[in-house]
Structure formats: C-alpha cells, structure tokens
Amino acid sequence: MKKQAAVVAKQLRNHVGEFKPKVIFAYSQKGKELIFNQSLLHPYKLNPLLEIGDRTPPDYPSLRVGCQKFTPKVFSDRESRISNMLKTILEYERNNPVKEELEIYCHNGLFSDIILRTKDKYDVILYKNKFIFAGTETRRGQNKLINYIGLKFEAMLTGQESPKDTSHCKLLLEGNVGKFPYKSVVEVDSYKMSGSEKKYAEMKLVFCPKTTEEELSVTRTNFELLSYLRKKVFNFDQKMKKWLFQCHFGLQEKLIIGIRNEDFELMGMREFDLQHDIVPYVREDMRGTYEQYLESIDTLEERLAYIYRQITFTQSEETQVYRFSCTNFRVKPHGRQFNRVLIPQYTKSHPAK
C-alpha cells in the first residue's frame, strides 16, 4: 500500500512539473499609457540591513511615505476588466497567426481562484472558439493605505520612487492546462537574473503584530521564519496557499515576504525559492495544501471542462455573456452587455457572425 502511494505521489509530482508556461509577450502600463514591453519591470535587490536574521536592530523605514499622492485604480461598471489583455493579444497577433483551436484567454489569477474556490465571480464568453474570462471586481471601497504599502514595498526593493498610481508590467503567458491551451496575463513584481535567465518574483507584505527584533533575529532559516509567521500572522495558512498557487501558475520562482508592524514600518524581509523553500514547507506543515498542489492541474482541467460543458449546452449565440462563481463553478446567462466585456478593437478584428 505504501509503495503504491509513493508511486502515485511521484506521478503527481511529475504531472505538476510538466506545467511549464512560456512568456511570449508583455505590456507595461504607466498611467494610461500602454507599451508592449517590460520597461516597467525592474530587478530587485534585498537591503542587507533589513534581511531577517542575526543583525543589529535597523531603523525601520516607513511604508506610509507618499501615500497622499497615490491614486488607486477603480473600474467603472461599463469598463472592460480585460481591455489591456485583449489589446496585448491583438498586438501579439500582428506577427503571429491566430490559432483556430479552442483556447482560454484570462488573467492568471483565474486559475488560483478556481483551485481555491474563492468568492470571486467572472464573466465568461465563448467567442470565436476563444474561452474568454473577465473578472467583475471594481475595487471600490478598498483601503487606499493597504493598497499603497504593498506597492511601496515593491518600490523599495526595486529602487523606484514612491508609486503615484497602479502602473505595472504584465507578461503574456502561453501554456496548457491538460487539454486546454491558454493565453493569460500575469502581473509580476520584479525579477533577478540567473545567468542569462530572468527569475520572476512575487512580493508580499504581511502584518505581524507584537513582533520584536529579538524574535525575528533567531529565525535563521527560511523554514524557521515561515513557522514563526504561521504562529503570528492572521490567517497565514490561507495566505500561503494563495501565494503558492499564484507563484506556481504565474511562473514566479521567487517569493519575497516583507514584515510590517503596527506603525506601518518595514521590520524586515526574506527571499524564498518556490521549489526549494515554499513547496517543502507546505509539504511538511500544510499537508492538505500540498495534496491540492500535486493535484492542481487535474483539478483545474476538470473544473474548466465543467464550465465549458455548461456553456456549450446552453449557448444560442456567440455574443452571450455568462456569469460563473468560483465557489461552485455553476454558469448562468447574464445580462451584461457583450461589448462591456470585450472591447471594440477586438470585435472589429474578430467580428461576430
């Protein structure tokens, strides 16, 4: 029995390892300007004075500085959530033939939302054999300071000025989830060079209440620090689960975790490698999440197939918009107008029947 279980586990590990999307294009958005390159993606460098471990207590920098000049992005009800993605795909198509096969177009977060059964809802259209997903979140009512300090943390590590808006860089990825080919866009925070290769990084900031310098200084290894954060950070298991799948599906091999205190000061940071630090930690201390990780590609393919079947059974015209919930994956026709999900440039290039 144990031998059989070991064989199954090895097969699952191999299956997860086969998930290898590739970067085929990118865009950078600065303010309202869209540029099809990685110009807003900057390499990171850890501040040795703030790296957690045996150190002299540093002066903790404030993460609040510059917040008053920050303008967060809020979507209107009439605005497409996938405008930049579709513009990027159109630009990519100028020099690359459009595939006739069924293909998913989405933001990369869709995959994590489906695996984790979040409360998120998506508009979905099956148009010209493209299975197109668009988020529905407007970002109204979000806490401006909380939004800002995450971006400020990224700016500190990449040597940039305090952010004034949500300017960012997203990569266009191409890959397969089982039988489903896809193109997705994923926002990446930074990267580091390894030889001639970019290792993309996700950066996360956590609030660690009542933490002292002495407590942080004794967490010498990455495993020790993660174990410490699990005890101190509210809902840490859920955060770690989300980070694991974001990095896995988003081609991000590095995770930088920053720790802040009650005064919004950055107390320290640590770099983690997805395969050498995060996955082994999850395997050891979060067994259920590790099993989800091993089975994630099969699970995702199965749930995408279920969504696809529901649409093909009920679709009467290719401009029909559906709404589905990541909680139960049920799809219902929705009254949202087709041209508020797609954009005129896309439908002009790919006209409806």
Q: What is the mean pLDDT of residues 29-37?
A: 95
Choice among 46-60, 149-163, 183-197 with the minimum mean pLDDT: 46-60
Q: What is the pLDDT of residues 225-272, one digit of tens each?
A: 999 999 999 999 999 999 999 999 999 999 999 999 999 999 999 999
Which residue shows structure tokens 């949500």?
A: 166
Question: Cα(68)–Cα(71) distance, rounded to whole angstroms?
Answer: 8
Q: What amino acid occupies position 298?
A: D
Whether 14 has a pLDDT exceeding 60, the answer reads no
Question: Cα(347)–Cα(177) distance, rounded to whole angstroms?
Answer: 26
End-to-end CA distance of the chain: 56
Q: Crossing angle, helix 2-17 and helix 287-294, to 10 degrees?
A: 60
How open is the CA angle 234-292-230, to the nearest 5 degrees?
20
Stronger pLDDT, 20 or 96, i.e. the higher one: 96
What is the rounded average pLDDT for all residues in the chain?
Answer: 93
Q: How many Cβ atoms from other residues are within 10 Å of residue 130's Cβ?
A: 20
- Model pTM? 0.92
State percent of the chain over pLDDT 90. 86
Q: Are 162 and 150 within 8 A, CB to CB?
A: no
**Predicted local distance difference test score (pLDDT) of residue 9:** 47
**Predicted local distance difference test score (pLDDT) of residue 1:** 40
Q: 3-class SS at 333? A: strand
**Predicted local distance difference test score (pLDDT) of residue 353:** 74
